[in-house]
Every structure is written in C-alpha cells, then in structure tokens.
Homo-oligomer: A and B are copies of this chain.
Amino acid sequence: MMQLKILVGESDFDPGAEIAALYTGRPEVGAVASFVGLVRDINDGNSVTTLTLEHYPAMTEKSLREIADEAMGRWRLLDVTVIHRVGRLMPQDRIVFVGVASMHRGDAFAACEFIMDYLKTRAPFWKKERTPEGERWVEARGSDDDAAMRWEKQDGK
C-alpha cells in the first residue's frame, strides 16, 4: 500500500522519527532516502539573522501533493513524507524534510531528489532574509531551474 504524508506549518519536525515512520512495521521497505534542509547563517555572502518563509496556503499542500504523486507515478515507492515549515526561522533551524521509502535504493534516491528539485521550483514558498544590512527577498537560482529541468528530459523513459 502506497502512503503519503504532507505537512506544512510552523511546527518543527524530528527527522529521525519521520524516517522511522517510513519503515517501521513495513518489512517490504529496503531503502529510505531522505533530505533535511536547514537555514544557513551565510547566504550569497551575507550573514543571515532570521529567515521568514511566506507561502500561498490554499496552494501549498496541493502543490506538494501533486509533486509527490508525480514521483509515485515515476518510481516504485512505498511511502513518501514531505514537511515544509513556514514563518520565522533562525540559522540552523530545519526548513524542509523529504523522505522516501522503497524496496530498492535507486527508486528512493531518484524520487527524493526529484521531489526536492520540483519543490524548489514549483511549490509556492518565498524566503525573506534579515541581514545586518536589512531585509531582502531571496532571489530564485538558475541552478534550481536546471536541476528541475533534468527530470523533464527523462519523461520519455
């Protein structure tokens, strides 16, 4: 049975507990790939004191669910968890968790990275950084578009 858990909110999460939930009691799971994204204290050369995450509440969970569904259609997955925090965060705070359980590692790795790449370019979150020089909206990176584009090329596989 394929499972899916999507959480968006201000609450912190426990990566170890989330990973355990992906395989505990499911002896068909052989592989769990996961990702934790964290607030860094330096971004593009400026020191960051706080990071505020804005989102589009009506769209956020829907968009994460569509990305996870797309992953479940592309690879053989047993379970997917996506958690994204919003609101005010500090350096070293956890921002995002993606965990994927599968029978074999190839599917788990690919799906986990795919979900992060799509989340980065399609899910409606925006970061604003406070630095000693003031506040600024984080600019989107071309490298994130490139990362997401890699998966488009594989549509024909």
| A residues contacting the other copy or chain, number (CB 8 A) | 38
Question: Min CB distance, A113 to chain B, in Å?
Answer: 5
A105 at the interface (CB under 8 A from B): yes
A91 touching B27 by the CB < 8 A rule? yes
Identical chains bound together, number: 2
CA separation between A67 and B134, bound complex, in Å?
43
A16: chain B residues within 8 A (beta carbon): 14-17, 19-20
Known: A27-B41, A35-B109. 9 other contacts (CB 8 A): A15-B32, A23-B36, A30-B37, A30-B38, A33-B33, A33-B34, A35-B105, A37-B105, A105-B116
List A residues at the B interface (Cβ < 8 Å): 14-17, 19-20, 23-42, 91-92, 103, 105-106, 108-109, 112-113, 116, 143, 147
